[in-house]
Amino acid sequence: MRRVLGIDPGANATGYGVVEGIGDRLVAGQFGVIRAKDGQPLADRLLSIFEGLRGVIEAQRPHECAIEDVFNSKNPRSSLILGHARGAGILAAKSMGIPVFEYSPLEVKRAVVGYGRAEKQQVQVMVKLILGIDGRVAQDAADALAVAVCHLNTSYRGRL
């Protein structure tokens, strides 16, 4: 059995999702979204991400962590802020001794939907089907679960 924490980083909403690989089955564990309070300074948002993910790691005890890589944004400031959020997630895992692997959005969509240019809603539907989840899953949490599924279903890529 392997337990993977998937992270979909964002400065205002960071999705997380734990997926267990048990034989050839994938099973969802805890998932959700860490949300920043309106108007919170970036440093406080990053601390919330770090502390929230450490809490998930303490509770779920994943063996590995998979995080979505930064996509090329038209706005350099947005890319920089997203990079800070990724850093908080990476640091949360590494500070707990968890190895971290990164996947591009294209790789994640291809692994879950079969098509690298899939829409977010398609990823959300497929994650629910793959993991047998009934009910609503927030988009950011579905994206994080997709990153974990990608990691469990593909060869290990770059390790941070």
Q: Give catalytic residue positions.
A: 8, 68, 140
| Dihedral sign, Cα of residue 58, residue 2, residue 90, residue 9 | negative
User: Strand pairing partners for 33?
Assistant: 15
Is 18 within 8 Å of 1 (Cβ atoms)?
A: no
Distance in angstroms (rounded) separating the CA atoms of residues 144 and 121: 13
Among 143, 68, 133, 69, CA closest to 113: 143
Both tokens assigned to 120: 């977010």
| Dihedral sign, Cα of residue 130, residue 60, residue 7, residue 37 | positive
105-113 vs 120-131: helix axis angle to the nearest 10? 50
* Cα-based angle 94, 95, 99 (whole degrees, multiple of 5): 20
Check residue 152 and report its DSSP letter: H
